[in-house]
Amino acid sequence: MGVFSFRQFDVDDSGCGMKICSDSVLLAAWFATAYPQARRVADIGTGSGVLALIAAQVCAGARVTGIELDPGAAAAARANFGRSPFADRLGVEECDFAMWHPGEDRYDLVISNPPYFTTGERSADAARAAARHQSALGYASLLHRAPALLADGGHLGMVSPAELERDIIFEAELSGLKLRRILRVHTSPRKPCTRLLWDFSVTDGPLEDARLNLRDASGAHDSAYVALVNPFYLKI
């Protein structure tokens, strides 16, 4: 894809196995904007860094750390962070999430767009395959490790295909996480749900179960979707 320009920063994803996708932007817009006072944020599997950059834009006082295993993607994230207006609050740790030990400090927010192809033929490109398959980072590992990473009252945000709903709820319950918000994403009012945006916490509370249509019945971008992503996209 090359360079993608957002309102407050640019992202060059040319060194990444997986390119920028609307799922990541939608997740960050929905999740981070609910917690603008967050002080410490971790983006697991940061790739080109778009989730981390949006979190830095929204959470103006936060230190944001991207965790990335692939050297090419980690280099791309560092370059994108360095060119952004939030450079002094962004950093990259190049490591395997399974081996990452952040120390005693815990995070207010952990956010991730984890791999979502659990079956099927792997891509011939190793970086793309690692980015899309759950071999290096999966929902289960993310959910199981989150309680140890989150501060009191902290939240985990992630995106998944709709068909994984039961599996993810099961894994979250095993991990002791509490589902606080879920957004069911539909391409249009008459289409089935294709994506789920998740917000888990270490503390219990009311559950918000909502729906978002990307387009309305006429085929135009839905007004709720536009309101959510407009602070970030230059053009929708």
- Can you give the CATH number for the domain in which 121 is found? 3.40.50.150
63: in domain: yes
- Confidence (pLDDT) at 19: 65
Residues spanned by the domain of 35: 3-229
Instruction: Check residue 114 and give its pLDDT.
Output: 85
Q: Cα–Cα distance between 49 and 132 in angstroms, integer?
A: 16
User: What tokens were used for 50?
Assistant: 């778009």
Report d(CA 127, CA 70) in Å as an integer: 7
Whether 205 is in a domain gets the answer yes
pLDDT at 14: 83
The pLDDT value recorded for residue 131 is 41
Q: Tell me, what's the pLDDT at 104?
A: 80
Encoded tokens for 118: 């659990």
Tell me whether residue 235 is in a domain.
no
* pTM exceeds 0.85, yes or no: yes
Kindly state whether residue 122 falls inside one of the protein's structural domains: yes
107 inside domain = yes
Return d(Cα 108, Cα 156) in angstroms, integer: 9
Look at the chain and report how many structural domains it folds into.
1
Q: Residue 127: its pLDDT value, please?
A: 45
Low-confidence ranges of the chain (pLDDT < 70): 1, 15, 17-19, 115-137
pLDDT value for 21: 80
Is 225 part of any domain?
Answer: yes
Domain membership of residue 236 (yes or no) is no
Q: For residue 136, what pLDDT is reported?
A: 52
In a domain, 149, yes or no: yes
